[in-house]
Copies of this chain bind each other. A is one copy, B any other.
């Protein structure tokens, strides 16, 4: 598997780079290697796929990225483009135009969970993640909320489409409402025990929307599996996320 090989190589390099602390000195976190930003770009552009963790020697890089200014700036540029696109649309007046939103890392943030798990350099902890979701207090990603509010003003209806499972509908509804997502045309969750991965599930749900007469004018998600697969929507937006990969 190519990503495994890359990560192995990066691990070896990192181990070599980290092996020269002098005894008696306080160990400072090593400066992240310069390729960390290139790995992030390659993740955003769908060049690196199927990865389990961000390279361990980029731990400081990815933490700085998420907690510093860059994550917000990258997100704002995407959201500004999405808002300008939505404002440019000529709507039919039928009320059938919808915009598909992913939930985790797009509408709502899991950064409070990620902060306890190395922002992507530690393996996914399913039990802990479920606990986080069950808490129902994931904060809104403010840029996405801004896009959502503008779409409502324009008359484009939001559809939430998530790989959260149907047993999480009550807490997800509560969490979205409490964070300012005040209404939606549909909230589509994954049936429990579904055997497919996210991309075919979401593609199939979008197809049902189109078959029911909806026009998907836009689609935004932090995973390529949110926005690949016909019908994708008239235009798609990849929200930044260097913390995890979902196929």
Interface residues of A (CB under 8 A from B): 1-3, 5-6, 34-35, 37-39, 41-42, 44-49, 69-70, 73-74, 76-78, 80-82, 84-85, 87-88, 230, 235-238, 240
Contacts and interface: CB of A to CB of B under 8 A. Distances in A.
A221 to B, nearest CB: 12
24 contacts: A2-B87, A3-B81, A6-B80, A6-B84, A34-B69, A35-B73, A35-B77, A37-B70, A38-B70, A38-B74, A39-B77, A41-B41, A41-B44, A41-B77, A42-B78, A44-B44, A45-B238, A46-B236, A47-B78, A47-B82, A47-B238, A48-B81, A49-B235, A230-B230
Interface of A is mostly: helix
B6 A41 contact: no
The 9 closest A-B pairs by CB, nearest first: A2-B84, A44-B45, A38-B77, A2-B85, A45-B238, A38-B73, A38-B74, A5-B84, A42-B77
Given A35-B73, A41-B41, A47 B81 contact: yes
Nearest to A74: B38
Nearest to A1: B88
| Protomer copies | 2
Contact of A41 (B48, B74, B88): B74
A84 to B, nearest CB: 3
A174 B49 CA distance: 36
B46 A2 contact: no
A130 to B, nearest CB: 29
A61 to B, nearest CB: 13
B77 A48 contact: yes
Contacts of A235: 49
A6 B77 CA distance: 9
A39 B1 CA distance: 31
A69 B37 CA distance: 12
